């Protein structure tokens, strides 16, 4: 909070006559602005179409200022310096008179220091005003702030209800704090209060309820998808090299990397054959590290209006940072970032790539990026440069031992005893199969067993395997080309 106060004060003190603040947390921002104005001894005025222009914290309303234009005329004529926050002003910029009035106030700043702060969920100022304005982004509450909110609500519950210390599972508390980071303060406080006051005990039922709310809320804005079922590495066959790499970096990601004298891991690119387990591994990383999993879909970000795609991407990355520590999964990243210069889409994908590369280089939040890709020819060279990712892993088709392990995993997942089947025979018969193809062989053979009303047998599974033509046969040339490219350029994940 201290840094946010300082940053806002610096922006206003920088003598920009206009400041844009895009935020959905209007109440939280006004409280922050009041603290800054009080510390800096600046007169503060707030305008809304419902209340008109009034002095804050006093409630003195300036007469005849309910209309936006009247409020601007009042500010233009008054000799009173100060900070003027105008809420939800975006629709009024369509009127050229309003734009002219704002310009006149801004141009007179050297005579009377009046800073206009336009506050709204979405702002797009006319070019004449944009060039003389600064931007301030109100960060969403991070883990430390949510933990403080939790402490405040627990103390409030103790005082008002006359209870002793709050009871519950400490791990559930920590998960709630992590999952609520990156949400609006009002939502976080309400959900914490509900969890505390429901039964006076914090448990994993509260965690699941909060997870559902967060997943639904992320789905509403359509930018990030919250993955509920992240799994764990025990459900992933093979990939021993990747698992070891992740295991030795777990402590640096979960703990204080600076105290350990290392940088927190940034992310990995999983390149490989379709169906070989890249997406499953991406999910399992979050589950094994016990952090939220956020999925970024570039198709959802693209918008036909100029600049909106980039805005959506920045908002999604901002939300991921506020949810830190977390895993950000970008599936089939080559489909979202063009390697042909982006000319086919008017340069949108090129600008998106620039945004991603800048974020990868400059982010400080613990957001572990896991990108998966199938087609190396479509990957931008800038993304493959060493340093963008910690490592590039090649996920090949599973060997015989790994295929047997994958058969075991999928049989157990469907409550079938692996000991009843000849797994080594399955592994030999499924040579060249991917993990996804092995799973489908099990699924299809179970359907056959249900149709014949007999328990699933080794023979039925082998029969299904024999009827399947794996991708390594159907697309042999592409698979071999990918293997040749990866040799010497990547680290094997197995």
Residue 485 lies inside a defined structural domain of this protein: no
With vertex at residue 424, the alpha carbon angle to CA 423 and CA 426, rounded to the nearest 5 degrees, is 60
Q: What is the pLDDT of residue 35?
A: 92
Same domain for 456 and 344: no
Distance CA 267, CA 15 (A): 39
Assess whether 204 and 237 both reside in one domain.
no
**Do 174 and 322 have their domain in common?**
no
Residue 39 lies inside a defined structural domain of this protein: yes
Same-domain check for residues 148 and 131: no
Tell me: do 73 and 131 sit in the same domain: yes
φ, ψ at 81 (rounded to 5°) = -80, 170
| Domain presence at residue 492 | no
433 and 388 part of one domain: no
- Return the CATH number at 185: 1.10.8
Q: Which residue, among 106, 58, 61, 137, has the nearest Cα to 319 in the 3D structure?
A: 137
Helix (H, G, I), strand (E, B) or coil at 45: strand
Q: What is the pLDDT of residue 324?
A: 73
* Residue 250 tokens, joined: 């777990």
Could you give the CA distance from residue 57 to residue 232 in angstroms, rounded to a whole number? Answer: 52
Strands (E), 254-378: 267-272, 293-296, 326-330, 367-373
Domain hosting 450: range is: 400-474
| 494 within some domain | no
Element spanning 395, H or E? strand 391-395
Pairing mode, strands 18-22 and 44-48: unpaired
Instruction: Choose the final residue of a domain: 181, 197, 221.
Output: 221
pTM for this structure?
A: 0.64
| Residue 19 three-state SS | strand
CA 10, 315, 138: angle at the middle one, nearest 5?
A: 30
**Residue ending a domain, choose from 367, 395, 423:** 395
Residue 209 domain flag: yes
Q: Are residues 366 and 467 in the same domain?
A: no
Q: Is there a domain that residue 378 lies in? A: yes
Beta bridge partners, 55, equal 45
Residue 2 has what pLDDT? Answer: 62
Strands 224-226 and 367-373: unpaired
Tally of CB atoms within 10 A around 47: 26
The closest of 179, 182, 172 to 206, measured between CA atoms, is 172
Q: Are 92 and 201 members of one domain?
A: no
Same domain, 362 and 423: no
Whole-number pLDDT of residue 222: 56
Asked whether residue 457 is domain-assigned, the answer is yes
Query: Number of folded domains in the chain?
Result: 4
Residue 343 lies in a domain: yes
- Quote the CA–CA distance of 43 and 33 in Å, as a whole number: 11
333 and 454 both lie in a single domain: no
Distance CA 38, CA 343 (A): 51
Do 124 and 162 belong together in one domain? no
Residues contacting residue 39 through CB under 8 Å, at least 6 positions apart: 5, 9
pLDDT at site 259: 65
CATH number at residue 99: 3.40.50.300
Compute how many other C-beta atoms are within 10 angstroms of the C-beta atom of residue 24.
14
394: its two tokens: 């090649």
State the pLDDT at residue 85. 95
111, 136, 161 - which closes a domain: 136
* Weakly modelled stretches of the chain, pLDDT under 70: 1-2, 215-222, 227-231, 255-260, 302-307, 338-347
Does residue 149 share a domain with residue 127?
Answer: no
CA distances from 43 to 80, 108, 202, 454 (A): 8, 18, 44, 82
């Amino acid at each position: 909070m201290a840094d946010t106060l300082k940053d806002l004060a610096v922006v206003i003190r920088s003598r920009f006559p206009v400041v844009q603040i895009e935020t959905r947390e209007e109440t939280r921002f006004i409280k922050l602005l009041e603290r800054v104005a009080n510390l800096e001894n600046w007169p503060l005025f707030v305008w809304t179409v419902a209340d008109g222009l009034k002095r804050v914290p006093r409630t003195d309303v300036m007469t005849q200022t309910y209309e936006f234009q009247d409020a601007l005329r009042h500010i233009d004529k008054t000799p009173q310096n100060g900070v003027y926050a105008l809420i939800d002003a975006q629709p009024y910029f369509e009127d050229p008179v309003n734009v002219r009035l704002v310009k006149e106030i801004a141009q007179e700043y050297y005579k009377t220091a009046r800073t206009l702060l336009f506050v709204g969920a979405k702002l797009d100022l006319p070019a004449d005003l944009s060039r003389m304005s600064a931007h301030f982004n109100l960060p969403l509450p991070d883990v430390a702030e949510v933990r403080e909110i939790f402490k405040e609500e627990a103390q409030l519950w103790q005082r008002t209800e006359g209870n002793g210390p709050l009871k519950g599972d400490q791990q559930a508390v920590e998960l709630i704090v992590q999952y609520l980071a990156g949400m609006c303060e009002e939502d976080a406080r309400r959900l914490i209060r509900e969890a505390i006051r429901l039964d006076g005990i914090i448990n994993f039922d509260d965690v699941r309820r909060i997870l559902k709310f967060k997943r639904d809320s992320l789905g509403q804005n359509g930018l990030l998808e919250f993955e509920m079922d992240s799994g764990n590495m025990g459900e992933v066959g093979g990939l021993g090299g990747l698992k070891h790499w992740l295991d030795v970096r777990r402590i640096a990601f979960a703990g204080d990397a600076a105290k350990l004298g290392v940088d927190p891991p940034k992310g990995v690119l999983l390149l490989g054959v379709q169906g070989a387990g890249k997406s499953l591994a991406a999910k399992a990383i979050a589950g094994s590290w016990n952090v939220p999993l956020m999925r970024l879909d570039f198709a959802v970000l693209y918008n036909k209006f100029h600049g909106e795609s980039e805005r959506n991407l920045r908002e999604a990355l901002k939300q991921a940072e506020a949810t830190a520590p977390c895993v950000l999964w970008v599936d089939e990243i080559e489909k979202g970032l063009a390697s042909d210069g982006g000319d086919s889409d008017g340069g949108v994908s090129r600008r998106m790539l620039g945004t991603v590369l800048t974020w990868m280089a400059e982010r400080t939040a613990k957001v572990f990026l896991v990108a998966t890709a199938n087609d190396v020819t479509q990957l931008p060279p800038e993304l493959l440069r060493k340093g963008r990712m910690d490592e590039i892993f090649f996920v090949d088709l599973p060997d015989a031992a790994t295929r047997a392990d994958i058969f075991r995993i999928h049989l157990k997942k469907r409550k079938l005893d692996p000991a009843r089947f000849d797994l080594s025979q399955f592994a030999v018969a499924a040579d060249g199969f991917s993990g996804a193809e092995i799973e489908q062989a099990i699924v299809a053979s179970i359907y056959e067993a249900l149709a014949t009303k007999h328990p699933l047998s080794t023979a039925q599974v082998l029969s299904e395997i024999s009827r399947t033509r794996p991708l390594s046969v159907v697309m042999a040339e592409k698979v071999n080309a990918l293997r040749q490219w990866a040799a010497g350029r990547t680290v094997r994940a197995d």
